[in-house]
């Protein structure tokens, strides 16, 4: 995916010499490092903001999400400067040593295919392991085999390891649609952490969750681990959990 996005951006760059066409086409946004544009910056007329004391590329990129016309940012790690651009024209005279460019692109699900863990697997449904939550199939019929299912227990949980730190904007849960609603997922708590020791509760739903429930974080949350915990004693089963974010 990274290669595809990288090539797409470079093609646009080569044809038009600017990033006017790189606009988000979905509700979810992510950023990709684009090495070819490192070491320069956008023209003053295209500079939407210039903020200092921005510690990281992730923080710099988050500023870009708050500005609809922003198509990318340059971050300078040493000076902690962050430049947001409304469009971009390559110009060697605008070189600025040490800047790294992050292009804004449509978001994708960064959880798909990643490593999962959960508190237990139902002994009656041994093929309903945690991996079914990130198999890329959102089929919400529990008995079609694309959902995970724990034992009945106290505080059952499911977790995905994204494999690296991401800036997370949204987490989308796909509930089951069968069982007449009796066994639909309910009373859930969402936690995100950079490490397992620093997990923070970032959202919760009391009662039955929607058929598709989305947690949105407009300011973004940095994290590697995403966990869903059911509050109380019950089974926990969901058909897919999508995490939208960006890696920098």
Footprint on this chain of Ca ion (rule: CB under 5 A) = 132, 135, 137, 146, 239-240
- 171 is written with which tokens? 């987490």
Alpha helices in 41-82, H assignment, sequence order: 57-65
Other beta carbons within 10 angstroms of residue 144's beta carbon come to 11
Nearest distance from residue 129's CB to Ca ion, in Å? 11
What are the b/e assignments for 183-195, b being 16+ CB within 10 Å?
A: ebbbbbbbbbbee
Nearer to Ca ion (CB atom), residue 32 or residue 184: 184
Q: Compare residues 55 and 179 and give the one whose CB is closer to Ca ion.
A: 179
CB of residue 165 to Ca ion, shortest distance in Å: 24
Q: CB of residue 60 vs Ca ion: minimum separation in angstroms?
A: 34
Closer CB to Ca ion, 32 or 132, in the complex: 132
- C-alpha radius of gyration, the chain, whole number: 20
Q: Say how far apart CA 226 and CA 198 lie, in whole Å.
A: 11
Task: Tell me the closest approach of the beta carbon of residue 85 to Ca ion, in angstroms.
Answer: 38
Toward Ca ion, which CB reaches closer, 125 or 132? 132
Beta-strand relationship, 233-234 and 29-33:
unpaired
């Amino acid at each position: 995916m990274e290669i595809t996005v990288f090539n797409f951006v470079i093609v646009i760059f080569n044809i038009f010499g600017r990033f006017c066409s790189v606009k988000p086409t979905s509700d979810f946004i992510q950023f990709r490092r684009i090495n070819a544009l490192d070491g320069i910056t956008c023209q003053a007329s295209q500079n939407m903001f210039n903020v200092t004391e921005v510690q990281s590329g992730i923080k710099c990129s988050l500023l870009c999400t708050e500005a609809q016309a922003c198509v990318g940012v340059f971050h300078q790690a040493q000076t902690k400067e962050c430049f947001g651009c409304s469009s971009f024209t390559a110009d060697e005279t605008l070189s600025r040593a040490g800047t790294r460019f992050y292009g804004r692109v449509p978001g994708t699900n960064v959880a798909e295919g990643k490593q999962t863990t959960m508190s237990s697997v139902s002994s009656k449904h041994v093929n309903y392991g945690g991996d079914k939550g990130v198999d890329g199939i959102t089929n919400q019929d529990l008995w079609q085999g694309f959902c995970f299912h724990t034992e009945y227990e106290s505080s059952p949980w499911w977790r995905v390891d994204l494999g690296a730190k991401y800036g997370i904007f949204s987490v989308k849960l796909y509930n089951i649609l069968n069982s007449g609603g009796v066994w639909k997922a309910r009373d859930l708590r969402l936690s995100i952490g950079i490490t397992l020791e620093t997990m923070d509760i970032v959202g919760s739903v009391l009662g039955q969750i929607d058929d598709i429930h989305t947690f949105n974080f407009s300011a973004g949350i940095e994290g590697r681990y995403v966990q869903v915990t059911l509050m109380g004693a019950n089974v926990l089963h969901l058909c897919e959990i999508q995490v939208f974010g960006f890696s920098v």
